[in-house]
Amino acid sequence: MTRQNIASGAIWEDVVGYSRAVRVGNVVEVAGTTAVAGDLIIGLDDPYEQTKFILSKIEKALQEAGASLADVVRTRMFVVDISSWEEIGRAHGEFFKNIKPVTSMLEVKALIQPGLLVEIEATAIIPD
């Protein structure tokens, strides 16, 4: 099987040694994705806006890998404040209402940069 690495250009990719997404065969794994665009945090202090932005970034990575949100079978959401679950869940539902992948939402102590409230991973399987 061939391997396709998808980069986003984030400064951390070369430092840490990872790809935004990797496709092997018909499986696409999307790395933990945050609401960072260049040097800016999108949706500062707004978990709903951060989640929407993150899911849009994930959608673009999936498209580059030849997949779509409809192919997502699992998401993992890491949040710094679980009491924001309804806002985060509402944004997730707007993207996945009819797809309904399995998901987890876990509270974590912190993310890589202050101001980040949500980080999301995704797994997609492209139908044969």
What is the value of pTM for the model shown?
0.95
pLDDT single digits (tens) 5-29: 999 887 778 888 999 999 999 999 9
pLDDT in tens, 51-62: 999 999 999 999
Q: Coil, helix or strand for 91? A: helix
Residues 27-43, mean pLDDT to the nearest whole number: 95
- Pick left, alpha or beta for residue 38 (phi over 0 → left; psi -120 to 50 → alpha; otherwise beta): left
31-63: string of b/e by CB count within 10 Å (b at 16+)? bbbbbbeeeebbbeebbbbbbbbbbebbbebbe
Please, what are the domains in the chain?
3-125 (3.30.1330.40)
